Structure 1
């Protein structure tokens, strides 16, 4: 048996039990508990495999995948999760993981690994980036798709313009996937998310000691994307000083790391996106004219959702099927009234808004037909309950009937808001004390999100902190909702 060399980037408690078995099987195992120790060991000992937790204090396994993009002989990365989920497994496999394991470790998995005679090649260099599905058959979309596919194989810089939520990053990924660079990396950076000095370091990298906090060399996005595509999202928000350095990188195909003395050659196809009119930005002196011309070699304008006609319903159906599957809910359909609402709404937030509203609608409908009220943010209009659901009582509650309705109304804590002229037969929830309606809505929100407080808070239109305080308040009253 050929010797296998394995580096564990995990807490010692996760792997010490299996070390004697690995030694008996002639598998050389080492342990590092932080990224610095792992890097030093990789340089000195060249392990074949790194078996890493998804995250450790101050470290995420994604950092290993970033390093692996530039090193063909980088060790194969196996993610070791304590419990694991299918979604997490899919995520790491798409990043380039060789495998995805869950505790506990067993010797058989190590014995099945290819030995050191098997060529080790970074999986990132083998996988062609899949193109995200673009949904829509309107004339406006067919035109922009045809142009995108025509220019995708070239190295020409593309400037994608469109309102927020129109899918600019998704189009960028498709341009990359349709190009000859599809096997190379796709790297994205949001130019509006970082101040100028940090953005410069992220784009071009820096050398150790180049500024306070630069404890080591950092490879920038341009170098990481070499051989592939670099997406500069929200390019209009980049400061003028940094625009000059970007222009040189585009024109000369070379960059200088912050604090560095050597020029680094890069081979990158750049795609830039913006939701602004850059011509106006140039006139106002907020964007360099020469950089604008350099970026605008191939202009693509994505239409707003309100310009796409029947694509609204087609997209809504796509998201409907996606979220019913994701949340394991029964298949449902749109009511005619909901379809009419979808067609008439102006969609200021474009496809992103439609996707968010569809997720909410699927959760609130919970397998029933979707109506327009499921799309609305106003909680008063959410059809969360059937009328008879207000009669479903938990421990300590009572059922409202004709015999006790008068007593129920008079004893309710907020009875001043209840009309004494309304009979029990007309009771439809509007007569329920507000604190009871609130409790039932929170209970329902947690039910449809399967206890996920963040999603429940979003559905209810409140903060997670408010939801937590409400739950603690109910618990102090002896009412358990979760």
Structure 2
């Protein structure tokens, strides 16, 4: 890029200027020296900086953006000649407040096709960000957040379970986050100050599992040169999490039953019992009722651990949580890897929404981590996703456009609201913040099958 021809400054025609002044998005242009050459009214409102104050100044001085130091969208566009669309970031306004924005950029050329500068539009996402946080906090507990009505009931049960000393059983497919649920229950419980001790019962043979759980005394076996406390002892005044309990042998089931019934345990080589002073949470991805019928899992142990039961739905049944989880994983990997990935583009997100996720949340986390290898900055796109995921989407024809994804999420939200209000359309519409007639139109357009029970209130004056 050569120096700007100062004899021909960038100008905006009267008609174009009138349009730019009437739109709600901020618009500004710069020359090749990064000096602001135009600044519309919306830009003044969003930044709190007047046009006279902005014109002629370096754009980095005007915006103080998160993208000015690294990942400047306008610089990227001027370097490559390609526009950037809807990249997320933030600016600091004149009052020192951080304003979330999305930016789009383009190059400016003269009549000979030579680049003379760049243009950027930016949209204030403050209200959108506030709505997003409101939606996130609507169904949340501890470190867990969800937009799925299926998880709302789980959260309500977790609050009650946390206050109870009773043994809890967490069920769910592999990768659904059973340990995170257990940790959240612990964190909300009266035992939160105590330790959370987890052990994978399916990963160890009986002799090692017994040693790890109960501990041993000096001389209990060859090599036992000193006392070693077990996990049950280490969890004192806290929580012991028995993961994959459906994998333990029947001999170990007998020992666990005694621990739960009598609240005592005996370290290997000990001459007496120790008191269990920990709350027990068990988890499995197997169907324990079937194992009981097959005489693989003891019925009495099943009843002891199944005092309170939480069934975590698989990710394929709560796909509205995928954008929330993607955002969470991107933030975490940005922090761990010191990167600046700003999000995921709509095509890539649509593909994720179409996938069935047999590995559930753990599989999704793996996909995002692998995408960080290919994507160095900006948005994660289709080209950054693992090839087996993109090939699967192409073979099955499952790649949906963002419109169909939004419809799917909207249908799930509407059906969830109607179910929560036992079929009462008026109450569901009120919760969703829409008119009842709008609800009926959306139900028809989206092809939602409503429950036969309409849940109508008998109170006088309520419309149905």
Partner of residue 272 from structure 1, selected from 261, 278, 282: 282
Q: How does 1:77-226 map to 2 (within 5 A)?
A: 133-226=143-236
Q: Residues 175 and 360 of structure 2 are in contact (CA less than 8 Å); yes or no, is this contact kept in structure 1?
A: yes
Q: Residues 132 and 173 of structure 1 are in contact (CA less than 8 Å); yes or no, is this contact kept in structure 2?
A: no
Change (3 A) 1:379 1:263: closer
Secondary structure of 1:331's aligned partner: strand
Q: Distance in 2 between matches of 1:307 and 1:369?
A: 26
Q: CA RMSD in A?
A: 1.8
Residue in 2 that maps onto 1:284: 294
Deviation at 1:245? Answer: 1.1
Change (3 A) 1:132 1:351: farther
Residue in 1 that maps onto 2:272: 262
Q: Residues 204 and 220 of structure 1 are in contact (CA less than 8 Å); yes or no, is this contact kept in structure 2?
A: yes
Partner of residue 351 from structure 2, selected from 337, 341, 353: 341
Residue in 2 that maps onto 1:73: none
Secondary structure of 2:280's aligned partner: strand
What whole-Å deviation, never above 9, does each CA across 1:367-410 have from its counterpart, x for those lacking one? Answer: 132122322245998xxxxxxxxxxxxxxxxxxxxxxxxxxxxx
What whole-Å deviation, never above 9, does each CA across 1:288-326 have from its counterpart, x for those lacking one? Answer: 110000000000000100111310111111112221232
Q: Residues 170 and 284 of structure 2 are in contact (CA less than 8 Å); yes or no, is this contact kept in structure 1?
A: yes
What whole-Å deviation, never above 9, does each CA across 1:7-27 have from its counterpart, x for those lacking one? Answer: xxxxxxxxxxxxxxxxxxxxx
1:366 matches 2:379: no
1:330 matches 2:340: yes
What whole-Å deviation, never above 9, does each CA across 1:331-376 have from its counterpart, x for those lacking one? Answer: 3232221121011111111001111111111331111321223222
Residue in 1 that maps onto 2:405: none
Change (3 A) 1:266 1:333: closer
1:355 matches 2:365: yes
Partner of residue 227 from structure 1, selected from 237, 246, 249: 237
Q: Distance in 2 between matches of 1:240 and 1:151?
A: 28
Residue in 1 that maps onto 2:132: none
Q: Distance in 1 between matches of 2:281 and 2:323?
A: 30
Q: Distance in 2 between matches of 1:360 and 1:225?
A: 35
Secondary structure of 1:332's aligned partner: strand
Q: Distance in 2 between matches of 1:207 and 1:285?
A: 34
Partner of residue 305 from structure 1, selected from 312, 315, 318: 315
Q: Which runs of 4+ in 1 moved over 3 A?
A: 377-381
Residue in 1 that maps onto 2:119: none
Change (3 A) 1:379 1:158: closer
Change (3 A) 1:152 1:224: same
Q: Distance in 2 between matches of 1:363 and 1:335?
A: 17
Q: Distance in 1 between matches of 2:237 and 2:334?
A: 38
Q: Distance in 2 between matches of 1:254 and 1:325?
A: 43
Give the gaps of 5 or more residues in structure 2. Answer: 1-140, 392-464
Secondary structure of 1:270's aligned partner: strand
Secondary structure of 2:212's aligned partner: helix
Secondary structure of 2:216's aligned partner: coil
Secondary structure of 1:342's aligned partner: helix
Deviation at 1:194? Answer: 1.1
The number of equivalent residue pairs is 251
Secondary structure of 1:338's aligned partner: helix
Deviation at 1:231? Answer: 0.3
Secondary structure of 1:362's aligned partner: helix
Query: What's the TM-score, normalizing by structure 2?
Result: 0.52
Change (3 A) 1:307 1:379: closer
Q: Distance in 2 between matches of 1:376 and 1:178?
A: 37
Give the gaps of 5 or more residues in structure 1. Answer: 1-130, 382-482
Q: Distance in 2 between matches of 1:252 and 1:210?
A: 23
Deviation at 1:132? Answer: 6.4
Change (3 A) 1:177 1:340: same
Query: What's the TM-score, normalizing by structure 1?
Result: 0.50
Q: Distance in 1 between matches of 2:389 and 2:303?
A: 48
Deviation at 1:192? Answer: 1.1
Deviation at 1:254? Answer: 0.8
Secondary structure of 2:377's aligned partner: coil
Q: Residues 210 and 258 of structure 1 are in contact (CA less than 8 Å); yes or no, is this contact kept in structure 2?
A: yes
